[in-house]
Amino acid sequence: MTTDTYSKEFAVETTLKSGKSIRIGGITKGSGMIAPNMGTMLCFITTDIKASSSELSTALKKAVDASFNMVVIDGDESTNDTVILMANGESGEAIDENFEEALEYLCCQLASMMAKDGEGATKFMEVEVKGAVNTEEARLAAKSVVSSPLVKTALFGADPNWGRIVAAVGYSGADIDPKVVSVSLESDNKRVDVVDNGIVEAFEGTSQLEEAEDIMEEKNIRIIIDLGLGIGKATAYGCDLSYDYVSINAEYTT
């Protein structure tokens, strides 16, 4: 498990359009050198669907693009990342949209586990970008936010610094109009708008700032960014950058 602190596994059962049920199970490991293009990670997924190698490859690539390729722990990439999908065909059922949806959901759950267990991590962040020109630009923006050292350190310090978030979107390469962008912070039981259509809502002396600070103290934090330009949307997964990350990697030798 190298620097992983716990094992990561997830399984789902779903009903296909034919009315028959199939199952998918997966295990994964990885907590450092994790960035888009996957990272230093291993993932093995099994299913009882009946499909050819090419059909499995197509479904897996789609799921990986929405999950493991949207995880950033430290921004470093690796040459030895692997995700394998194996099918034994015992269900006798063929791949359909329901299978693809279940596979993507499973991969996103495993990806979230990796982000939560990032080296030295104390907090988990899920960044949802909507209103982008297209999906590709939404992914660019979301990955830019979870990759930003300034956003990650603000998360560690419980600082609701909307400027760092918007700046990361700004240099991502995605189209952005500062006059229509909105940013919200959300925990398990609270949500607050810190920027609303380009207008800053959370500033000194406001209840919005107090609520934002409370949210940033939580372990699980969602950052929702609405670019207001289209229908593109994407979600990325990440964690904070703590003192322990530096310590782990300064002391770790191979």
Q: pLDDT tens digit string along 170-205?
A: 999 999 999 999 999 999 999 999 999 999 999 999
Last residue of a domain, one of 86, 116, 146: 116
- Does residue 79 carry a catalytic annotation? no
Residue 154 lies in a domain: yes
Structural domain contains residue 157: yes
One domain, residues 172 and 204: yes
Domain final residue, candidates 58, 85, 116: 116
Per-residue model confidence (pLDDT) at position 254: 65
pLDDT at res. 230: 97
Residue 146 has pLDDT above 90, yes or no: yes
Q: What is the pLDDT of residue 148?
A: 96
Pair (182, 106) in one structural domain: no
What is the domain-level CATH number for residue 17?
3.60.70.12
Note the pTM of the prediction, 2 decimals. Answer: 0.91
In a domain, 2, yes or no: no
Q: Are residues 122 and 240 in contact, defined by beta-carbon separation less than 8 angstroms?
A: yes
- How confident is residue 248, by pLDDT bands cut at 50, 70 and 90? confident
82: in domain: yes
What average pLDDT does the segment 80-102 reach? 95
Does residue 69 share a domain with residue 53?
A: yes
Q: Which pLDDT score, from 0 to 100, does residue 250 have?
A: 87
Whether 68 and 183 share a structural domain: no
Query: Per-residue pLDDT averaged across 144-163, rounded?
Result: 96
Choose the final residue of a domain: 116, 142, 157.
Answer: 116
pLDDT at 33: 77
Q: Are residues 175 and 56 in the same domain?
A: no
* Residue at 14 is within a domain: yes
Q: Assess whether 185 and 217 both reside in one domain.
A: yes
Q: Is the pLDDT reported for residue 92 higher than 70?
A: yes
Of residues 28, 40, 47, 235, which has the active-site annotation?
40
Q: Give yes or no: residues 98 and 169 share one domain.
A: no
With cut-offs at 50, 70 and 90, classify the pLDDT of residue 34: confident
Query: Does pLDDT of 37 surpass 80?
Result: no
Q: Which range of residues forms the domain containing residue 198?
A: 124-251
Asked whether residue 162 falls in the same domain as residue 180, the answer is yes
Chain-wide mean pLDDT for the chain?
Answer: 94
Q: Could you tell me if residue 1 is inside a domain?
A: no
What local confidence, expressed as pLDDT, does residue 176 receive?
97
In the chain, the number of structural domains is 2
Q: What percent of the chain has pLDDT over 70?
A: 97
